[in-house]
Amino acid sequence: MTRMVRHDAKGPAIIKVGDKMIGVCQCGLSKSKPFCDGSHKQAHDEKAGLVYIYDAEGKRITLDDLFPTPKEAFEA
């Protein structure tokens, strides 16, 4: 089953365990969840107001790329 999950964070949550610091993925892009692997760097240039979709290889498109709104919908 495929499921879309919304993630807004552009970096990990840092948790201190004893003397060790652990990064926990909050962007949803890490391939080693629940741990951060640095994949959030792909999200740094995302623009507000757009919904981004990443495939398994990290290729990114916007929801508008998949379902463009016809120009006529905004003309009155």
pLDDT of residue 46 exceeding 80, the answer is: yes
In a domain, 53, yes or no: yes
Compute how many other C-beta atoms are within 10 angstroms of the C-beta atom of residue 24. 13
Distance CA 48, CA 63 (A): 13
Residue 66, domain member (yes or no): yes
Q: Is there a domain that residue 8 lies in?
A: no
Q: Looking at the DSSP assignment, which residues form a beta bridge with residue 13?
A: 24
Give dist(CA 41, CA 68) in Å, integer.
Answer: 27
Which range marks the domain in which residue 46 is found?
13-75
Whether the full predicted model's pTM is greater than 0.75, yes or no, is no
Task: Return all residues near 9 (Cβ < 8 A) that are at least 6 apart.
Answer: 26, 27, 40
Q: What's the confidence (pLDDT) of residue 3?
A: 79
Task: Tell me the one-letter amino acid at 42.
Answer: Q
Is 60 domain-assigned?
Answer: yes
Answer whether 9's CB lies under 8 Å from 40's CB: yes
Any domain includes 6: no
Instruction: Flag whether 39 is in a domain.
Output: yes
Total tally of structural domains belonging to the chain: 1
Residue 2 lies in a domain: no
For residue 32, what pLDDT band results from cuts at 50, 70 and 90? very high
Structural domain contains residue 3: no
